Amino acid sequence: MTSKIQVDNLEGRTTKGSITVTGESNGASTNLQQGLCKHWIGNLDMSDGSVNDSFNTSSVADVDAGDFNVNITNPYASGNHYSLTFGGTNSSNGNAFLSMQGQTPTASQYRMAAFLSNDTNLDIDMAKSATHGDLA
């Protein structure tokens, strides 16, 4: 028989916001909250600024061609308390890269820019990003 736990909320017994989970090898443990993705954007079309789906994203703002500010609804402790992952594709030019374009992220905003290897910015049709870290 398979076990099943159904709950609406989880909280640590010792510290309310901390749950420790044993790792795959039954050796090292990890903090559950630390491993969760706290924000993501799925399929930002930079040509018109539309976002197909997102989590913890209040808005995106078009700065320039292939250059957007992404605003996080529930901020991080600071711009130094999260990591960013970018990905995406472009139907007309598959050689585009995504980065922060030299901008320093804040607790509630980061820059997502698409560009070619010659540093020319361009709007791509499927930009994605995710952040992991410590919320405020």
Model confidence pLDDT, tens digit, residues 74-127:
999 999 989 999 988 887 766 778 888 888 999 999 999 998 888 888 899 899
The C-alpha atoms of residue 63 and residue 97 are separated, in whole angstroms, by: 17
Residue 84 domain-assigned (yes or no): yes
Lowest mean pLDDT segment, chosen from 12-16, 80-84, 109-113, 129-133: 12-16
The C-alpha atoms of residue 107 and residue 131 are separated, in whole angstroms, by: 11
Residue 5 domain-assigned (yes or no): no
Residue 103 domain-assigned (yes or no): yes
The C-alpha atoms of residue 56 and residue 71 are separated, in whole angstroms, by: 9
pLDDT band at 17 (very low <50, low <70, confident <90, very high): confident
Residue 117 domain-assigned (yes or no): yes
Number of domains in the chain: 1
Radius of gyration (C-alpha) of the chain in whole angstroms: 18
Mean pLDDT across 15-40: 83
Residue 7 domain-assigned (yes or no): no
Amino acid making up residue 116: L
The per-residue pLDDT for 3 is: 93
Residue 61 domain-assigned (yes or no): yes
Q: Give the predicted TM-score (pTM) of the model.
A: 0.83
Residue 99 domain-assigned (yes or no): yes
The per-residue pLDDT for 56 is: 97
Residue 93 CA to its chain's centroid (Å)? 24
Residue 15 domain-assigned (yes or no): no
Residues 70, 62, 59, 78, CA torsion sign: positive
The per-residue pLDDT for 94 is: 62
Residue 65 sits in which domain range? 37-133
Query: CA torsion 119→123→127→133, rounded to 10°?
Result: 60
Average pLDDT, the chain: 89
